[in-house]
Structure 1
């Protein structure tokens, strides 16, 4: 027996997938596609869409489609429903929903506007109940579908749920063809149709009940179907779905535990026209076996296969009728059920038969139909709408008008000779100019012929020839359909592994991948042993290296491939030379770049290719210092109709005008930003981003500069050029917050800028210093909560050792300034360590004591201070004694802190005024008139120029000196809070630290995230 010879469905799927990928790519013109290629591809996309809708993919069918484009389901979608007494047709889609319906002498005419041809293959083969024939007629304005009604049938029509419906009502007419519609797929008639049908049905039909039984097995499940009498069945797997179709209408009772989510994930059943079908979703890969005992059918999914006697249903070819037909001898075949698969959307024919088990072991495929393997019965997939499946006794015949398209083998011993139409290239990776020539008999006819030949050749198996598939790939590459060519070649590599060692196949795939922008994938083919001796492959290696930014490698590869350059068409000689010149320019070899680009611009090529070379030539002229001449060239190229060329030309012309003083920065930025949002995804956008970022930085517009540069680094993170942008971005951020460029910004504005780009904070001492400087600026303007959040993140996540304790001291001081002593104590206590410098330990001790005093834990505060008599400790001791109302000790300490300041001229500081006033109040409250007199004598002269002069005079006067009351002393103490003076001194301390920062040692840094969190709002 001769095996039918097509795997065109797989080939078509590969082409369709690559076509969709290709249309997702916006860079058609960047890849150098011609207008002719774009038109050709549009035709293929239309064909691929037609194939997805269930149309034929054979040469005759494609010829029909050339005359009228088949409407996709999104435009015209027919859905058919039926029950015992009526049928219903619903028409959906953008065109279908605008259909008009009329009755004419026993016929119903559906008129669809437009020139799109509706796909009535399914509809014609399986019309609704009460319809005996379906015909199609067309004119220049619309298509009309004519349905001939059976005798006694009545039709009514209207609109419901966004669709046009035609309902045919009959009580006596039986359908000729079974149609099963799975409810899971949403293919059932609308609710209005169902309700209307139920209202007119005379009585509800009862069906025998079949209660399914199932048993869980190891890695599987066994299901029993106990029918009341002998029933025909068909069981097969399609993808992840297992179908069980029976030629009897029954009510299934499914066990609730059937769907266990492990072996069976989903179960749906439906019945119609004498059939009942159960569809299960089960993971693919497990076994599927069937057994039968009388009226009982047993199906096992997964686990060990059932040990049941099985006979194989052979598939044979029959040409006796003059039309190529596939036949199967299925003993007991009863009826053909046409079922729509809800997941795939196509229709399959299922032929049931009673036991014993009869199975189709291997798939058999032709261009128009495919017979799938089964565990019981027969299943036919239809790729062409006019395929028919008929029964003649036990004989199942699959054919179509004119016969199925199959190989012309006589005895199955000699394969058909495939005629090649394209010669191989001089070098495996060099495309031949003849590939892009327009076929004399037109694109579609040539494409159809090549595709059919390739599909027939694929059917010859892994050891067969593959020249026809190479011819198809060469044709597609020549027509600019590079994604489609990849689909053909990838499928060839999978089905014919020996082709992977063929330099012609590998080289052709390199060309297709490079032209479609898949440079990394192309590099894998270039590295194969098949192309190791191809000198032209070095040119592609250089081309890829230049496009990916590896310019030194590109120069070496172009030099190695130079002997093969003349073997390429002029178009590619120009492209390779242009890329080589760009690599030379990037490596600062201006002399070589000028010489190479001179060769490129002299080639006899299309205008766009020459302009591309001249664009690089203008870059070289600019690099040589002749900016005005380069500007003239850029201006000329900017008038090109190709965005791929005029966009970089406009950008460079605008930049040169700014440099030459012929344009203002705002005008240049407007031009650049318009181009940046118009052109995306390649080196031109990277160059735009770099240029715009530089202009923003020079204008002091830091936020815009960082936003632009950051967008480039994120969008092109895998490109070498992105490294330069990220370096520029990080350098700008460091200059702003480490070198003082942001000091001119308002603190709030600087904080917002820092938070928005905090992920740019460097790891290490520089990053920590940057955060501390930012915190000090916030303290200066009393944004204490925000400053604390910044330092808290540093303490918790980035620092260790001495650095952590030192920053924790700053954090505690900020918490105290913000009157949050509890948080200050937490910052000190959580960072305790014994290995600290004395100065840091003293600072932390004083801050801890101050926090304890603020919490009224004065004894603990004095214990923490111990014997520390530093000025800062004395201030805290004075505050403690003041809180304890130990006026003698408080007054003495406060006067001691003033020291011999009375001997110096000049105004007192705020802290000194506070100490003086509080010392006077303390001496008065302690009734120490002698000390009060001494204090008044020494410091009374400062009252006239003090900020709190009245309070100072009251404090130095005492209780018994003049008409003063106790309330006056209270007011004086309240007006001169020591806390205010301490805050002022701490701000001064932060200010001085900012001038001479002491950065933590790098060895003490922890490996930590690079950014601090956004501070909370005050």
Structure 2
């Protein structure tokens, strides 16, 4: 009885599952005979583009019937058949399975050739170039042909054009339809490498009604100076080609119209934006973004240039152009930080924040960030400055060197009225041992932040064992209106009468207020005798006189007025906001 075809296929599939190594847990390499040395001793395949091919069903059946001794050989036969049939994804899967079972296979030129071609065909150009760059493959025509395609995909047009002579035998051995992708690749490379006549010659084998070929012919004619003929061909391609050819032709027409010195870049930019809204990915978007970048630079629009260039850098494999592209973007980012009269520092900071991933590394990147933070601070945008400097702090390892920066960031958060953020910054580095001066500053800011959060006692407790913080303790006690404690601490801070500056005057007046509130008339008398002559010529003499009159003669309303004036003005240099700065 004849077995139905579906049943026979099912049986074959079950046999394959039983024979093939599991995907998740591949069989140990010891189960299969080594194949790398065997393959390395064979001649390189596909010298002229033709991969050895067997019937695909027979190739699968051979795997199903294979043993540990010959399974890798059967897989290799299947991989070559899949490459011949242009089933590149399936071929890549078979090749990767072979490599998992034999770690030496990626060292063999034949496997590298097959693997690189599959990667190039699946639009993974950087990986393809790595696989096809083996010294054993440098003169291999098929490897040269596919390496050129990968180079064009990464933008290395000059490198691709240089492979033409090597690739020609593999291209010539193909039928015209199979030649087309390679001829188009080399035509693209020739046009960009300023060899338009070479591109036209290469395209001579293709039909003059082929939109993809006309796209390249149009570009080549434009490059050769034949604007009318080139524009006509591009217009034909933009009407009759596949969606990608139409988009590429429209892009070429936009570029041609924008090339003249009198052409308004704004009009070309609008046309590019319309094209980019409906087209994403591949070389077309890449070329459109590159043109948009150049037009933005021509208009002097640094932000638009950054937007286009950053998209290129972030989302496209730029190959050899990666480093120059990043350098160009960093130069524009430097220009943003320097700013101009037309841009507010807030706008500049927004642009900088959007592209902070492009910053130069190390000290230069930190210096740029710090420069912008200084501008934000000068403009009173303390929160923005703190967030900017926080990115620098977060990138650094937690060690003693981060101490000054942690103080600066926490201080900025305080000035932005965000004490909780200041505490988070300080507590992140709490386990680190900092130099004594830095530790003192960190404890001062922590105390201020706690005080601002309503935790006055906890703030004062933090300062108990911290040297050189008596002035800050007095400030906190003054704000708390703890008059006895303030009078006790501030007594040690009173200035020399011979050097009574604005801060010193405030310290004396505050002490008088505290002594008055606790009823220490004797203390007031002592201060009146010590400072009366020093205050006599000063504008603050009336406040001093009011506060040093006998207690029973004080006008309570006047005392309250003097007290509120001192609290509001707060001339002390160590105010709650300024400490640590």
Q: TM-score range by the shorter chain?
A: 0.5 to 0.7
1:486 to 1:874, Cα distance in 2 relative to 1, 3 A? closer
Give the alignment partner of residue 215 of structure 2, picking from 598, 612, 615: 612
1:981 to 1:759, Cα distance in 2 relative to 1, 3 A? same
1:802 to 1:562, Cα distance in 2 relative to 1, 3 A? same
1:523 to 1:630, Cα distance in 2 relative to 1, 3 A? same
Give the alignment partner of residue 684 of structure 1, picking from 276, 279, 284: 284
Task: Supply the distance in 2 between the matched residues of 1:667 and 1:458 (Cα, whole angstroms).
Answer: 57
1:781 to 1:862, Cα distance in 2 relative to 1, 3 A? farther
- CA shift for structure 1 position 892: 2.3
* Alignment correspondent of 1:833: 434
Task: Supply the distance in 1 between the matched residues of 2:255 and 2:324 (Cα, whole angstroms).
Answer: 19
Task: Supply the distance in 1 between the matched residues of 2:277 and 2:295 (Cα, whole angstroms).
Answer: 17
Judge conservation of contact 2:152–2:189 (CA < 8 Å) in 1.
yes
Task: Supply the distance in 1 between the matched residues of 2:282 and 2:181 (Cα, whole angstroms).
Answer: 17
- CA shift for structure 1 position 685: 1.3
Task: Supply the distance in 1 between the matched residues of 2:357 and 2:161 (Cα, whole angstroms).
Answer: 37
Give the alignment partner of residue 49 of structure 2, picking from 388, 405, 429: 429
* Alignment correspondent of 2:565: 972
- CA shift for structure 1 position 864: 4.0
Task: Supply the distance in 2 between the matched residues of 1:979 and 1:238 (Cα, whole angstroms).
Answer: 85
Give the alignment partner of residue 559 of structure 1, picking from 165, 169, 183: 165
Task: Supply the distance in 2 between the matched residues of 1:959 and 1:526 (Cα, whole angstroms).
Answer: 90
Q: State yes or no: 1:744 paired with 2:343.
A: yes
Q: State yes or no: 1:798 paired with 2:396.
A: yes
* Alignment correspondent of 2:202: 600
1:862 to 1:583, Cα distance in 2 relative to 1, 3 A? same
1:574 to 1:619, Cα distance in 2 relative to 1, 3 A? farther
1:953 to 1:814, Cα distance in 2 relative to 1, 3 A? farther
1:484 to 1:985, Cα distance in 2 relative to 1, 3 A? closer
Task: Supply the distance in 1 between the matched residues of 2:113 and 2:374 (Cα, whole angstroms).
Answer: 64
1:932 to 1:4, Cα distance in 2 relative to 1, 3 A? closer
- CA shift for structure 1 position 710: 4.2
- CA shift for structure 1 position 640: 3.8
Name which one, 1 or 2, has greater alpha-carbon Rg: 1
- CA shift for structure 1 position 977: 1.5
Task: Supply the distance in 2 between the matched residues of 1:10 and 1:522 (Cα, whole angstroms).
Answer: 35
1:667 to 1:604, Cα distance in 2 relative to 1, 3 A? closer
Task: Supply the distance in 2 between the matched residues of 1:639 and 1:537 (Cα, whole angstroms).
Answer: 32
Between structures 1 and 2, the one with greater strand share: 1
Q: SS of 1:939's equivalent? A: coil
* Alignment correspondent of 1:136: none
* Alignment correspondent of 2:245: 645
* Alignment correspondent of 1:998: none
- CA shift for structure 1 position 688: 1.4
Deviations 1:922-951 (A, max 9, x none): 4686344466554444432xxxxxxxxxxx
1:634-783 correspondence runs (5 A): 636=235, 639-642=238-241, 643-660=243-260, 663-696=263-296, 706=306, 708-717=308-317, 725-737=325-337, 739-740=338-339, 744-747=343-346, 749=347, 752-777=350-375, 779-780=377-378
Q: SS of 2:278's equivalent? A: coil
- CA shift for structure 1 position 533: 8.6
* Alignment correspondent of 1:807: 405
Q: SS of 2:279's equivalent? A: coil
Judge conservation of contact 2:470–2:493 (CA < 8 Å) in 1.
no
Give the alignment partner of residue 538 of structure 2, picking from 896, 920, 939: 939
Deviations 1:32-56 (A, max 9, x none): xxxxxxxxxxxxxxxxxxxxxxxxx
Task: Supply the distance in 2 between the matched residues of 1:510 and 1:819 (Cα, whole angstroms).
Answer: 56
* Alignment correspondent of 1:9: 9
1:660 to 1:10, Cα distance in 2 relative to 1, 3 A? farther
Judge conservation of contact 1:917–1:955 (CA < 8 Å) in 2.
no
1:568 to 1:802, Cα distance in 2 relative to 1, 3 A? same
Deviations 1:706-726 (A, max 9, x none): 555444444334855566555
- CA shift for structure 1 position 679: 2.8
Q: SS of 2:201's equivalent? A: helix
Q: SS of 2:240's equivalent? A: coil
- CA shift for structure 1 position 599: 1.8
- CA shift for structure 1 position 804: 0.8
- CA shift for structure 1 position 663: 5.0
- CA shift for structure 1 position 968: 2.4
Task: Supply the distance in 2 between the matched residues of 1:284 and 1:865 (Cα, whole angstroms).
Answer: 64
Task: Supply the distance in 2 between the matched residues of 1:762 and 1:562 (Cα, whole angstroms).
Answer: 43
Judge conservation of contact 1:545–1:551 (CA < 8 Å) in 2.
yes
Deviations 1:50-84 (A, max 9, x none): xxxxxxxxxxxxxxxxxxxxxxxxxxxxxxxxxxx
* Alignment correspondent of 1:955: 543
1:816 to 1:712, Cα distance in 2 relative to 1, 3 A? closer
1:828 to 1:784, Cα distance in 2 relative to 1, 3 A? farther
1:931 to 1:509, Cα distance in 2 relative to 1, 3 A? closer
Deviations 1:242-283 (A, max 9, x none): xxxxxxxxxxxxxxxxxxxxxxxxxxxxxxxxxxxxxxxxx9
Deviations 1:599-623 (A, max 9, x none): 22444534225413324415644xx
Deviations 1:725-781 (A, max 9, x none): 5555555445434x457993343x555555554444544223333444454455456
Deviations 1:215-266 (A, max 9, x none): xxxxxxxxxxxxxxxxxxxxx99969xxxxxxxxxxxxxxxxxxxxxxxxxx
1:865 to 1:706, Cα distance in 2 relative to 1, 3 A? same
Task: Supply the distance in 2 between the matched residues of 1:454 and 1:850 (Cα, whole angstroms).
Answer: 75
1:518 to 1:984, Cα distance in 2 relative to 1, 3 A? closer
Task: Supply the distance in 1 between the matched residues of 2:150 and 2:569 (Cα, whole angstroms).
Answer: 76
Judge conservation of contact 1:809–1:828 (CA < 8 Å) in 2.
no
| TM-score normalised by length of structure 1 | 0.39
1:156-555 correspondence runs (5 A): 428-429=48-49, 482-483=86-87, 535=141, 538-551=144-157, 553-555=159-161
Judge conservation of contact 2:115–2:131 (CA < 8 Å) in 1.
yes
Task: Supply the distance in 2 between the matched residues of 1:525 and 1:881 (Cα, whole angstroms).
Answer: 72
Task: Supply the distance in 2 between the matched residues of 1:752 and 1:683 (Cα, whole angstroms).
Answer: 30
Deviations 1:806-827 (A, max 9, x none): 1122134335544849939758
1:77-156 correspondence runs (5 A): none
* Alignment correspondent of 1:885: 487
Q: SS of 1:958's equivalent? A: helix
Task: Supply the distance in 2 between the matched residues of 1:894 and 1:679 (Cα, whole angstroms).
Answer: 78
Task: Supply the distance in 2 between the matched residues of 1:806 and 1:708 (Cα, whole angstroms).
Answer: 37
Task: Supply the distance in 2 between the matched residues of 1:614 and 1:864 (Cα, whole angstroms).
Answer: 79
Task: Supply the distance in 2 between the matched residues of 1:532 and 1:889 (Cα, whole angstroms).
Answer: 84
Judge conservation of contact 2:188–2:216 (CA < 8 Å) in 1.
no
1:729 to 1:641, Cα distance in 2 relative to 1, 3 A? farther
Judge conservation of contact 1:635–1:653 (CA < 8 Å) in 2.
yes
Judge conservation of contact 1:825–1:851 (CA < 8 Å) in 2.
yes
| TM-score normalised by length of structure 2 | 0.62
1:938 to 1:549, Cα distance in 2 relative to 1, 3 A? same
